[in-house]
Amino acid sequence: MSILVTFDLDNTLWDVAPVIVRAEYAMESWFDERFPGFSTLFSSTLKEALKVQVQLDAPEMAFNLTALRLAVYRLALKRFGLPSEEADAIAKAALAHFCEWRQKVDLYPHVVDILEALSQDYALAVITNGNADVFHPYIGLGQYFDFAIRADEIGMAKPEADIFSIAAQKAGVDISKLIHIGDHPVDDVLGASNAGARSVWFNRHGAQRWGDDWGSSSHAEVHSLLELPIVIRSLTL
């Protein structure tokens, strides 16, 4: 296949907000079962403050959401009174629990049908800044994708042009043969354009207008995933 179609995940194939809310509630219960009062002491506001502190101490973690969350858990547990070695072990166990909940997504309508249709004609892959694992059985979409490029695994994030180039190289196609689909005007659209790829802006329900300060516009715009087969075909003619 000479065309590689890549997908963003969060807010492109599912709504990420409820996923994170559910996962955070699950984590509160997980911590309180083991350390009563932990979630009360470390409120969401304080956890955000710890996150800022971690990013100031290690700015290279900004793109690595997995490592950042682990560091916040570790710091919170140490402040709760755990010795460093125990805090590290508990933080890793907590992260594993969070990552399980992170995969419990509710797919947008028609995702499976569209991926099934597109996979008949194109190579499909993922380029994501998040830490969802598209091959996890909870998500159940692994059979449609050849591979996934995750920011937390390769050390860079969209809109860096190189992340799109890595995907093209992995698929063995020229970057001009990559078509990226995503909801974010900068991370997805501008990033792909700067790399020399083409982009499709997923503006769900047409809820947004293109901002003048967002940079170059996408090669195409869709308001429903059902539009993708026709739009992608038009971009390959």
Residue linked to tokens 């490592």: 67
Q: How confident is the model at residue 60 (pLDDT cuts 50, 70, 90)?
A: confident
Q: Which of 162-166, 173-177, 233-237 is predicted least confidently?
A: 233-237
Q: At the topology level of CATH, where does 4-14+106-236 sit?
A: Rossmann fold (3.40.50)
pTM of the predicted protein model? 0.92
Q: What DSSP state is assigned to residue 217?
A: P
Q: At the topology level of CATH, where does 17-102 sit?
A: Four Helix Bundle (Hemerythrin (Met), subunit A) (1.20.120)
Summarize pLDDT for 45-57 with one digit per residue, the tens.
Answer: 888 899 999 988 8
Sheet harboring 123-128: ordered strands across? 147-150, 123-128, 4-7, 178-182, 198-202, 220-222
Residue 166: predicted pLDDT = 98
Q: Is the pLDDT of residue 1 over 60?
A: no
Residue 129: predicted pLDDT = 95
Q: Would you list the domain boundaries of the chain?
A: 4-14+106-236, 17-102
Residue 73 backbone zone (phi > 0: left; psi -120 to 50: alpha; other: beta): alpha
Q: Is the pLDDT of residue 189 over 80?
A: yes
Please report which residue ranges of 127-204 form alpha helices under DSSP H. Answer: 151-154, 161-171, 191-195
Q: Is the pLDDT of residue 93 over 90?
A: yes
| Residues 6 or more apart whose Cβ sits within 8 Å of residue 4 | 122, 123, 124, 125, 167, 168, 171, 173, 177, 178, 179
Average pLDDT, rounded, for the chain: 94
